Structure 1
C-alpha cells in the first residue's frame, strides 16, 4: 500500500502536462488555472489541518510558490514550442541537476564517503539522457528541431524557478504541510502579476482559464501524496518514485497527444528516459 501511495505523485505529475495541453488555452490561461486551483486546494487543507507557521516561514514559503510559478509558466511555454514528449525529459533532467547542485553548494550535501563521486556520475548520466531525448530522425518536424536550442534556454531559466521552489522551504525549515498554503498563495499572486504585466486581462473572463482549475487540483494531489509518500516510504524512495512522472508525461505526449516523432526519435527518447530515470534513482537513494 505504501508503494502505491508513492506512485500517485508520479501519476499526477505525469498527467499534469497532458491535462494542461488537452484543456488548451494560452500560457496565461494555463498558469492562472493551475495556480488558482492549487491555492484553493491548499487553503482548504490549511483550514482543516491548521498547521502552525511563523511569519518568516510563511514569507519564504510564499517566495517558494512565486518561484515555482515562474518556472511553470516557462515550462508551459516550452510545451507549446516543442511538445510535452520532448519537453518533459529535458525539464525533469535539468531540475534534477539543478536541485542536486543546490544541495552541494548551499546545503553541504554529498559530503559523506563516495556520495560526491556517485552524485557526479548520476548527473552525467542525466545530462546524457537529456541530450538523447533531443535527437530525432529526418522525418521529424524541422520547426520543432529549430526550436530545441532556444527552448533549452527557456528551460535553464525555468530551472532557476524550480530551484527556488525547493530552496526556500529548506531555508525556512518548514514541513510540506506548513508550507503548502503559503506556497499556493505565492503561486497565485505571481501568476496574477505575470498576467497583469502582459496586459492580457481578458484571460479572467475566458472559460478555458477556469476549466484549468482542474490542473491545480491535479498538482495538489501530487504535492500532498508526495508528502505522505515521504513519510511512509522515506524521502529517498518517495523522491525516486515521484521522478517516474517523466515516463508518464513523455509517453503520454506521444500516445495521447499524438505528438509526431520519427521512429528513430522515439528510440532515442526511450533511451534518454531510461538514463534520466537511472540518474534520478541514484540521486534519490543518496538523500
Structure 2
C-alpha cells in the first residue's frame, strides 16, 4: 500500500507539469529554462544530502542526457502551444511509450517470452488507438488555421519524442548510473540545453523564476518514482507514472479553458481508457 501511495506522487507531479507551466505562462524557451533552474536547485539539495560518489563518465553522460531531455521538454512545451495540453500531453506520452517499447524489444531484446510479445503488442495497439481518439477533432467545431497549427504541433512532438527517447535509452539501456548520483550532472545538462534554446540570451524574468516551481515538481516526482519502484516494484511505479496523462488532460480542460465538444469528450474518454490500459499492460510486461 505504501508503494502505491508513493507511485501516486509522480503521477500527480509529472501530470501537472504541462498545465501548471502553461498557467504560469511564458514562451516555450522561458518555460524550459525556468523548469531546468528548479530541477538544478532540487538536484543540488539532493546532492548535499546524499553526497553520492561521482565520476568523470557520470558527469559526461549525465550532462549529455540532460541536454537531450531539455530538447524533449522544449518540444513538448511548443506542441502544447499549438495543440493544447489536453491533446499534446497524451500524444507525447503515448509516442514515448510506443517507440520506446519497440526500440527496447527489437534492438535491446527486452521482450524474450511469448507472453511479453502478446501483451506488449496488445498494449501498443491500445496506445495507437488512444493516440487516434485523444487527438481526434470534431469537424463541426470551428477552428482557426487548425491544420497549420496542428502541423507545427506534430513537428514539435517529433523532435520532442526523439529527445526524450534518446535520453531514456542512454540512461536505461546504455549507461546504468545511480539515479541519485546522476541527477546533478543531468540537471546541469538540462540548464545548458535550455540556454541553447534561448540562444544564450539569458534573462531571469519573473515568468522564468515562477516556472522553476515546475522543475521542483519534476524532481519530487523523480524521488517518489524511485521510492515507489523500491516498495511496490517497477511495474507498479511505471504504470502509475504514465497515468499522469489523465491529470494533464483534466488540468488543460479545467484550468486552461481548453474547450471540447460533446463528441470530442466521448473520443477523449475512449482515448484515455485505451491509453491507461495500454500503459498498465506495458508495466506488466516490464515485470516479467
* TM-score, structure 2 as length reference: 0.94
Q: Is the 8 A contact 2:79 2:152 kept in 1?
A: no
Q: Contact conserved, 1:236 with 1:285, CA < 8 A, in 2? A: yes
2:190 to 187, 190, 211: 187
Measure, in 1, the Cα distance between the counterparts of 2:260 and 2:148.
Answer: 15
- Equivalent positions of 1:37-48 (< 5 A) are 37-48=38-49
* CA distance in structure 2 between the partners assigned to 1:142 and 1:204 by the alignment: 33
Aligned to 2:282: 283
Deviation at 1:129, TM superposition (A): 0.7
- The residue aligned with 1:122 is 123
- Aligned-residue CA RMSD in angstroms? 1.5
Q: Aligned pair 1:143/2:142, yes or no?
A: no
Q: Distance in 2 between matches of 1:277 and 1:195?
A: 35
58-67 or 238-247, which moves further after superposition? 58-67
Structure 2: distance between partners of 1:82 and 1:141: 11
**1:173 and 2:172 equivalent?**
no
Gaps of 5+ in 1: none
Cα displacement (A) at 1:104: 1.5
Please state whether the residue corresponding to 2:192 is helix, strand or coil. Answer: helix
- Please report the TM-score for the alignment, with normalisation by the length of structure 1: 0.94
CA distance in 2, matches of 1:150, 1:125: 25
Structure 1 equivalent of residue 32 of structure 2: 31
Q: Does the aligned pair in 2 maintain the 1:102–1:163 contact within 8 Å?
A: no
Q: Deviations over 1:105-155 (max 9, x none)?
A: 332101123212321221111011101111122125243454224422321
| 2:234 corresponds to 1:235 | yes
Tell me by how many angstroms 1:6 deviates: 0.8
CA distance in 2, matches of 1:221, 1:250: 21
Give the unaligned 5+ runs of structure 2: none
Map 1:6-21 onto structure 2 (within 5 A). 6-21=7-22
